[in-house]
């Protein structure tokens, strides 16, 4: 049995809200690019954040109803590396770079939020879940960092094959 505090439940609710906002931001970003690779990237990020939201929702329900943490199944990133696509118009490139910068901030905040939750959680299963979520968000950040670099320096939508 977990020892669940109101503070932990509130932190999980805040994390759920942040995941919902991140998914909405990525959904919006997908509509702001005409490039199919950019759309694919942001659409996949929507899926990741929606998955995190659902798992946090499952966790919250389990903690409230049964006072137990849940098993968290790692969702491996599966955004195939696209290769390079040249010819991004400069105005679109700058707009996309701003969006990618915003996305990097979302991922850094999420990583920190889950790292903090892991520190607050004594339950080994809960700690493992939050640590894994932090690693996933760090992986999303690294992916977006590579996307930013390629947009800025090469003018291409390009990223390496995603891995944890």
Domains in the chain: ranges and CATH: 6-154 (1.20.1260.10)
pLDDT tens-place string over residues 2-11: 667 888 999 9
Classify residue 64 by burial, with Cβ atoms within 10 Å: 0-12, 13-18, 19+: exposed
Q: What pLDDT does residue 157 have?
A: 78
- Span 135-152, pLDDT tens digits: 999 999 999 999 999 888
Task: Compute CA 108 distance to the chain's CA centroid, rounded to the nearest angstrom.
Answer: 9
Q: How is residue 59 annotated by DSSP?
A: H
Provide mean pLDDT across the span 76-101: 65
pLDDT for 129 beyond 80:
yes
> Alpha-carbon distance 112 to 106, whole Å?
10
Residue 76 has pLDDT above 90, yes or no: no
What phi and psi, each to the nearest 5 degrees, are found at residue 158?
Answer: -155, 145
How far is the C-alpha of 58 from the C-alpha of 88, rounded, in Å?
A: 41
Q: How confident is the model at residue 73 (pLDDT cuts 50, 70, 90)?
A: confident
* pTM of the predicted structure, to 2 decimals: 0.83
**Better pLDDT: 70 or 90:** 70
């Amino acid at each position: 049995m977990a020892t669940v505090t109101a503070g932990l439940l509130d932190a999980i609710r805040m994390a759920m809200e942040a995941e919902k906002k991140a998914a909405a931001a990525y959904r919006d970003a997908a509509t702001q690019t005409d490039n199919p690779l950019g759309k694919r990237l942001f659409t996949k990020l929507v899926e990741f954040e929606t998955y995190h939201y659902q798992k946090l929702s499952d966790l919250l329900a389990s903690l409230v109803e049964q006072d137990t943490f849940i098993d968290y199944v790692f969702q491996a990133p599966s955004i195939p590396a696209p290769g390079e696509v040249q010819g991004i118009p400069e105005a679109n490139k700058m707009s996309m770079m701003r969006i990618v910068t915003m996305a990097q901030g979302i991922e850094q905040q999420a990583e920190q939020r889950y790292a903090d939750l892991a520190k607050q959680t004594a339950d080994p299963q809960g700690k493992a879940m939050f640590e894994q979520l932090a690693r996933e968000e760090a992986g999303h950040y690294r992916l977006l960092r590579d996307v930013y670099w390629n947009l800025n320096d090469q003018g291409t939508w390009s990223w390496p094959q995603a891995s944890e």
